[in-house]
Structures are given as structure tokens and as C-alpha cells.
Chain A
Amino acid sequence: MKSVLITFDQAHYARIIELLDKLSCRGFSYFEQMRGRGSKTGEPHYGSHAWPSMCSAIITVVDDSKVDTLLDRLRQMDEATPQLGLRAFVWNIEKAI
């Protein structure tokens, strides 16, 4: 089991949910309003006057086998719309109930 944290421009939301459904990743948690900026490129997402856009985040815990497919698809999504911004980070789940 691995946990994937996906942070993305709000506009990606519908596509990501669709992707998770397709890959039968049922469980996730969604943070609707988040602020942040990328380490290298991209516009900051502050929800402020200067930078009005906002990001969201989804944490989903998936089987190890699905992680690569998920990341591949997410990368494609990001590359198709570089101006929006999408990042995913994976780490191990030690225990769960």
C-alpha cells in the first residue's frame, strides 16, 4: 500500500476523480482549498489579488501495482496543460486500520 498526495490546480479536479475511478482507486481524501507554489516553475496559487488561482489536494492510498500507472497518467495530464500545474508525491503506508 502506498499513499499518493496529488496537489493540483483546481481546474484538474474533475479529471483526477475520473482517473481514480478508472483505475478503481476507491478511497481518497480531498482538500478543496489549498495555497502553494511550485519549486521551479508555474504561477503561485495564493487566492490573492495578484495570484487569484487556488489549488486542491487529494490523498489516495492505492495498491503498489497501481502507483506507476497512476503517476504516468498524472504526468500526461500535467504535460498536456503545463500552465495549470500538477504534482504527485508517493510514500509508504506503515500501518492502517
Chain B
Amino acid sequence: MSIYEGSVKKPIMTALCFVAVAILGLFSLTKLPIDLYPDIETNMIMVMTAYPGASAADIENNVTRPLENALNAVSDLKHITSESKENISLITLEFEFGEDIDVLTNDVRDKLDMVKSELPDEAENPIIFKFSSDMIPIVILSVQADESMPALYKILDDNVASPLARISGVGSVSISGAPEREIQIYVDPVKLEAYNLSIETISSIIGAENRNIPGGTFDVGSDTYSLRVQGEFTDASQMNDIVVGNFGGRTIYLRDVAVVHDSVEERAQETYNNGVQGAMIVIQKQSGANSVEISDAVKEAMPRLQKNLPSDVKLGVIVDTSDNIRNTIDTLFETVILALIFVSLVVFLFLGRWRATLIIVITIPISLVASFIYLAATGNSLNIISLSSLSIAIGMVVDDAIVVLENVTNHIERGSEPRQAAVHGTNEVGLSVVASTLTLIAVFFPLTLVTGMTGVLFQQLGWMVTIIMVISIVCALSLTPMLCSRMLKLQPKQSKMFTLLYGPIEKGLDKFDNAYARLLHWAVGHRTVVIVSCMSFFVLSLFLVRFVGTEFMPAQDNGRISVTVELPIGTRTEISKEIGMRLYEQWMEQYPEIEVCNFTAGQASTDNTFASMTDNGTHLLTYNIRLSDPEERERTLSEICDLMRKDLAGYPEIKKSQVNLGGGMAVMGGETMLDYEIYGYSFEESDSVASQLSALLREIKGVSEVRISRGDYQPEYQVDFDREKLALNGLNLTTAATYLRNRINGATASQFREEGEEYDIKVMYAPEFRTSIEDIENIVIYNAQGKGVRVKEVGTVVERFAPPTIERKDRERINTVTAILSGVPMSEVVEQAQAKIDQMAIPSGISIQLSGTYEDQQDSFGDLYALMYLIIVLVFIVMAAQFESLTYPFIIMFSLPFAFSGVFLALWMSGNTLNVMSLIGAIMLIGIVVKNGIVLIDYISLNRERGMGIREAVVKGGHSRLRPVIMTTLTTILGMVPMAIGTGQGSEMWRPMGTAVIGGLTVSTILTLILIPVLYCVFASVGIKRKRKKHHESLMAKNTSL
């Protein structure tokens, strides 16, 4: 018993099976996490090797190079980049997407073990660090404070950071901008010298005084007591009374040579939220945790936490990545619902019967909901890709059901009982329904095989649509016949109301059918005209390709901007802060769209995990800006970014600035960046090429920002010790350098404990004694005998320029010039830039290479084009198998070029570009447009088998298949319309895809309806002529032999 016969005979079982699927699907839906993209596995591993005291060049030669050479042998390596800067070497290994990162990490570890012995003895062990998108902060909170400022760190740490860290899924919570408490002991060097003391002595005495020591246990009578010495300070002021030495028979207390400050650390980042000083709390998630859930939990906790804070401390939200996720997903849900409504309307319009419409439309929710089971089972999430797959599939899932229903209706009209009609009607079309769905699966299934970055995205799309299509076909072969057998009746006389309403539509459709039949009749008679004009249309449309630009991914408007401003190196924090405030005030005035503006200035302390990953320094300002929702403002994100860039250019004191659209943290959908990599060993040569190139790039229209990656030489003071003189005084370089460090940076003497917290006690020169070169020169260094010498006696203090960080890529020195584009397609800029580069005089040994987004685009496009060929072949195979002919599929394939014409036309008219999304749209078209051809050719050849002549078969076939073709095409097009015209958050991403499908399908369908029948005529008459000729020849042969 076949599936449709069984389901017609057992309606309850069939219905309940689908109800069960629907319930399971809805249940899975409630369990599905929400995210922006499918899980993207990391493909980066970082190797950090510290070599204290080595300069950038030393690090490059002694650490980075040997490591790079060894690591280069790791398999699946795409690029190896490195940064060699003072004290540290950072090597980043970028692998191909889709490889198992754990296996690769082990490989890397093995290679490091092998090379370890080649590293200098002082170099520390290399540390492997897996880089992942989890490090992107998911929520950044702002804190505004007033009088609580000095104690803010402790307040926030106790009352906000710790409770937040306990939320499940939260990885780390770091506070920046609030200085930490520190006890500073500011020493007066003059007094120190007078009493013959040194910072080291004081520091060790403080360390020795601040101790709790257990003395063991002893017995008194029948009891055992423990003995303890509680020497730790309970108050910072107690330190004033420490005896640090004797001089001339008098006791010297610490207060005689130093001042104890119970204060905050000297160098700290300062954060301003909407102009008020405060702090920033950065929340990162654990790997694999759900961003939306965490951010919900954080937001829920905020009012509770606020209650425990002093009245002047106010919490707010600067960045909440989940907002964007939630809005995007909501927009997509709307899109799906709209598509559902449109499709239902089209079905009703064409069928004119509500029962039939219901039977068809019911397959949509069932197929879609069933795909949630797949998502839940494989641990995926509701994201842009999975939801847009639903939107894409809506228009296609009804096609099979429509074909089945149409044939069943035919049977009923011929006099069958609905039950019999359902079984036999489905039986007749079952095979062709399966075959036509197979062509679609032939398109979407290969998507699951794509590798690389695009593969990560489109694997899910491929799986989703494939699964939805399979379910829709099961539905069409079981649920639809069952419902037909129950719900359809021989059309009784229509009510007057219905005739009044539907009559005109019916007449219109009939007229349309007849007009098409006439057109087809004419076309069949004028084959050459039709073919030539179609071909010339295609050729003309190819010229449009020049006007449609290409890019990688459409930029997404998530309402976030991050700005980094770099002032001349060495600018004091106070000055940076002042400029920061000026910029803040200017922006708040000019851009009412700004909802929150936060900026940070100054050097971060080393124990701030988030800050240590980002660049910071006294001369750097970092802004985090949140704009209102895209629907509520007129200017787009990139427009505002461009204006900000102009504003920044108006400040002569700003040396460099970066405006990052999307907060600089988006994995995809950020701005288009062209990286020109300048390879070459010589710093001077590559620097001059870089500056020439950046000047050239700036001239090109559409380039809104140009950055050079290599930093400037940094001015710094260095002490050159004379080793001979040091040796004469019984000193060595390390001792001397440590003395310098202890006086300027401070020596951490001990920890001050209070309420379970530890704070550093630092001994150093008072600030007024470390402001000039003389102060450094006068530092006294003591040798083992206690004899002191001044720095100027054993060395000289000189001003030098430290070489910048040395960057390398694929084992060559590199300097990258990055151009950020806005408002123009990437391909145009690349072309213009290349023309300019060709004219540049590039010294030998220097080469320029284009990478960045361009490289990604080339990679992805390469993958997608390869995929396109594969899909075309697969589709051809499916069709050839179905028709058992090579000619028919060949004819049908002629609808493909016009689909691409349509894509270009639509992209050009709507101002979209050819990017990964629109290319995917074009690929989907391959499967969709051939379906129309299949329906037409199938029916025409059926007519021929029934004994009609070629022309009659073509015209009658076209006439009777016009409605199904138009109907299925319209459902697909209207299913895409909400995607193509959407304006909500995130709609930029799928708009090109929707536009491409609509354009391609419209143009291709119109031309297919005329060209394919005409081509059929041509091929069929050639076939007949050949047969006649053969027949004639055999007759002749017979005649001659006679």
C-alpha cells in the first residue's frame, strides 16, 4: 500500500502524526536559543611568548622567527601573522574554517615543544591562547558616580561585579575606569640619602612588619593553646610608626622619610558616561553560553543591584549585543508571517475555493515547524540564517501540494469520488512531484558542503531548506490527499455573493490565459525573432554587470559605533580627557541620534582582562556610542560615521583616529575594509610606500578612512649604563635597573588586608621627585657594601625613539594600509586603486598585496561559483533522469541565463550590490526557475504522446500550464517580498538576497514562458526532420537494392 493510499484510508492516524510533528516542533521552538549567527567555530590560535627586556628587533630575530618557522608546518594553516614588540612576541595562527580547533591546538603544542630549546634561555615558555568570539563583550554597563568615586572600585566589585559573575553563563566581569585602592608610600629621596636608607630597605622592612605568624601550639595544664603573632596592619596610618632605621643614635620612623597615602592607584583609566565620570563594567560570556539569556538575566538583576548601591552611583547600559539579536530576529519573524499571508492570498486568488486554500496553506506551518525539531536536535539556534531559510522556503513548500491538489480536483471534476480521486490523483503526479522537489534539493543540499567562512553560514541554510522540502513532499503525498479526500467536494453551484466577488477575478484569469495562448501561437510562428530577441536581451543585460558593484557582505546597521582617537604619544591623561570631553559635547549636540556615549581615557592597569586585550595608553581615547533604533532615525549608521570622521579631521591635535561601524566587534556585516599589505624587510622603504599608498587611497572617492598599521617610533628615555663603571662599583645591570624601577614605578612591599580584600602597598619616590631627567640622574644605587653611586656616575640618560612593533605575516615583515569604504562598491575602489598602484614606483624587495575583506570576498565567491557549476550539473542530472532524455533538460537550462539577467537588473535598479547574500539568491534561482521549465516541457511532451502535433501540443500545453506556473512563481516571489523590502534591524543583510530572487525569477519566468516552448518546437522539428530523412534514406536503400 502506497503512502497516499494508506493515509487516505487512515485519516486519523495521518492527521495525528502531523499533529504530533507540529507539537514536537513547537516544543522545540520554545527550547531554541536565539542568536545572531549560527555557531561559528573559532579558527585562530595565538601563541604568546614573553622575553623580558628584549627589544622588538631582538624578539623578532630570537623568538618570533624560530617559532614561526616551526609553526608553519602545522596543517590547514591559512595565515601566520605575528607582532614582535618590546618584551613580547605574539603569533596568531589563522586556520581554514571548519577544522577541529582542539586537534590543531595539540599540533601547535607539539611544534612548540620541538622548538623550545632553540629559544633564548631567558624567554618564558610560549603560552597558547585560543581566540574566540566569546571574548566579545556581550553587555557593557555604564556607571555614573559622584562622591563615591574614590571607593567606586570596591563598591562595584562587591555589589555589582560579584553578583553578576554568579549568573550562569557569565564568563568574566571586569570593571574599568574605576581606580583600585592602593597604599602608596611616597618617599623623599633627599631625606633617604641623609639617613643612609634606600627604597629597598624600607620596602623589605614594611614587608617584614606586615606579617601574621603562627607560633605553634603549647599545653597549659589540661588544655592546648595555639600561639600567634598578629602583626598585620589594621590601618594604613599604623605604618607611619614603623622604625626604618637608626641614625646618629636616633630612631627613624617611616613618617620621617615618607608620607603614607591610602589612596587609589596613580595611573588608571578614567571613564565618562554621558559626560559624567564613572566606570564601565564589561561582561563576557562563557564559551557556548547564550547571549540573550545572559543579557536578560543581567538586565533583570540591575534594579536589584541598584538598590544596594550608594545613591550617587547609577547603573546604565552602554552596549547590549542581545538588543540587536532580538530586534533582528523579531524583524525576521515578521517577515516570515508576512510571507505566509502573501502566499495564502495568492493561493486563494488562483483556486478561488477556501477549502482548497486551507489544504494547501496548512502544509506551510507543518513543514516550517518540523524544521525546528532539526534545529533543537542538532543544538542550533534561531538565527538570521535559520529564520531566513524559513522565509525562503515558504513560497516553495506549497508547490507540491498545489500540484497534487490540482490533479485531485481534476479527478473529482471528471466524476470520481473524493476518496478515489485523492488516491489516484496523487498516484499519477507522485513521481513528478518528487522529481521536481529533487531539483530543489539538488540546489540546497550542496550548500551543506561549502567550506570556509561562507560554508559556516550556509550549511545551515542548506540543511534547513532541504529538510523543509523533504517534509513538504511527505505532506504533499500524505496529508494533502487525506485532506482532499475529506474536504473536497464536487464544486456545487456557487453562491451569488461568491460569483459577484470571484467572478471578475476568474474572468481576468481566463483572459490572461487566452492572451498567453495567442502570444504563444505567434511566437511559435516567429521562432527566429523570439530567439534572437531573447539572446540579445541576455547579452545586453551582461553589460549591466559593469554597473553592479561587488562587495563581501552587506553592512549591518546595529546602531553601534566605536571610535579610537590617538593623540601624539606621551600626551598626558588630563589633556586627552579634555579633548575627549570636547568631542563628546560636540557629538552630543550634532547627533541627537546618540543615546549613550561613553569614553575612556588613560592607561589601564594590567589586571583588567578586558582592557589588556585592547590598546590603551595615556594618549588614547576610546568611545563606545549607541544610537537609537534604525527605524527611529533618518541618518544611517554609515552616514553618521562619515560625519564623525569629518569632525575628527577638524582637530589638528588628533594624530590618528578610527571610527568603527558596528562597534568593531561584529564578526560579519561590518564595514568593507581593503587591506593593502606591504611586504618588505626595510622599515624605511615600506614606510614610504605605505605613506604614498595611503595618500593615493585617500584621493579615491568612497574611501572614508585610511589607516597604516605600523606605529610611529615612540620617544622614550633610556639609561645607558657603562658596564665597566658598574663593575668597578660592584654592581651589575640588573641591580641597577631594578633600583630605577623601584623608584619610578614603585616596589610592591606587601599587601594590606582589609575585609578579605588585598591592596598593594607600594613604596616609591614622591611624585614631585620624578618629574625631570635630573631626578633620574640623581637616583642613588647602593652596592652590596652599602656604598651608593648616582646614576649619572655610572651611566647617561638619553632620549631615544623606540622602534615600533614589528608585524609579520606569512613569515615576512609587513605594513598594512587599510582603507575603509563607505557608500561605494568595493570592486570600484579596488579597480581605481590598482590603477594608481601600477603607476607607483615601488622599490625592489617591496611587494603590495590586497587582502582583508577583498580576500574574503574572492575566497567566498570562488567557493560559490564552484558550487554553482556543481549545482547546475546536479540539476541537469535530476532532470535528465526524470525525462529520460538529454534534450529536454538542455532546453530547460535555457531559462538559467535569464535568471541571472534578472538578478543583475534587479540589483542594478534597487542599488544593491553583488555580495555573498545576493549570490546565494542567484544560486537558489537555479533550482527555482528550472521548475517552471519542467512543468511546461512535461506537459508539452505529454500532449505529444497523446498524439498532438508539435505546435498544437506547445500552445495547448502552455495554455493549460500557465496558471500553475504563474501561481507557484508568485508564491515564491511574494514569499520573498517581505525580505526584499524589509526596513527593520538587520534587514540590510537579506535585502540583496530577496531582491536577487525576485528579479531573477520574474524575468526568467516571463521569458521562459515564451522561449522554452519555442525552443521545444525547434528541437522537436529537428528531431522529426531527422527521422524523416532516415526513413527516406532507408526507402532509397530499399529501392536501390531492388
Contacts and interface: CB of A to CB of B under 8 A. Distances in A.
A53 interface: yes
B942 A84 contact: no
Interface in A5-21: 9-15
Interface stretch (A44-52, A57-65, A89-97): A44-52
Contact of A50 (B411, B415, B942): B942
Interface in A42-83: 48-54, 80-83
B574 interface: no
B945 interface: yes
A51 B411 CA distance: 13
A53 B410 CA distance: 12
B18 to A, nearest CB: 25
Contacts, number: 40
Contact of A11 (B421, B941, B946): B421
A84 B416 contact: yes
Given A52-B428, A83-B414, A14 B419 contact: yes
B424 A50 contact: no
A81 B415 contact: yes
Interface centre among A49, A53, A54, by most B CB within 10 Å? Answer: A49
A10 B945 contact: no
A48 B416 CA distance: 19
A83 B419 contact: no
B720 interface: no
A49 B942 CA distance: 7
Given A49-B942, A50-B946, A53-B428, A80 B419 contact: no
A52 B432 CA distance: 12
B414 A81 contact: yes
Contacts of B417: 11, 14-15
A19 to B, nearest CB: 13
Contacts of B945: 48-50
Given A15-B417, A83-B415, A84-B414, A10 B942 contact: no
Interface string B924-948: 0000000000000000011001100
A14 B946 CA distance: 29
A51 B946 contact: yes
A9 B414 CA distance: 11
Given A81-B414, A81-B415, A84-B416, A11 B424 contact: yes
Chain B interface extent, by class = 10 to 19
Nearest to A11: B416
A34 to B, nearest CB: 14
Most chain-A CB neighbours within 10 Å: which of B411, B415, B428?
Answer: B415
A9 B427 CA distance: 14
B564 interface: no
| Interface of chain A, main secondary structure | loop
B420 A13 contact: yes
Contact of A10 (B415, B420, B941, B946): B420
Nearest to A82: B415
Contacts of A50: 942, 945-946
Contacts of A12: 420
B419 A53 contact: no
A73 to B, nearest CB: 16
Nearest to B420: A11
A11 B942 contact: no
Contacts of B421: 11
Contacts of A15: 417
A80 B942 contact: no
Contacts of B420: 10-14
Contact of B415 (A11, A14, A49): A11
Contacts of A10: 420, 424
A15 B414 CA distance: 15
B775 to A, nearest CB: 99
Contacts of A84: 414-416
B415 A80 contact: yes
Contacts of B428: 52-53
Contacts of A51: 946
A80 B411 CA distance: 14
A53 B421 CA distance: 11
A50 B944 CA distance: 8
Contacts of B415: 11, 80-84
Nearest to A80: B415
A80 B416 CA distance: 11
B424 A53 contact: yes
A50 B428 CA distance: 10
Nearest to B427: A52
Nearest to A13: B420
B407 to A, nearest CB: 9
Interface string B566-590: 0000000000000000000000000
A20 to B, nearest CB: 16
A46 to B, nearest CB: 10
A51 B424 CA distance: 12
Interface in B372-417: 411, 414-417
B328 to A, nearest CB: 47
User: What are the nearest 7 A-B pairs in CB distance?
Assistant: A81-B415, A11-B416, A50-B945, A52-B428, A83-B414, A11-B420, A50-B946
7 contacts: A11-B411, A13-B420, A15-B417, A50-B946, A52-B427, A53-B428, A54-B424
Given A54-B424, A84-B415, 10 more contacts: A13-B420, A15-B417, A48-B945, A49-B945, A51-B946, A53-B424, A53-B428, A81-B416, A82-B415, A83-B414
Interface of B: 411, 414-417, 419-421, 424, 427-428, 941-942, 945-946
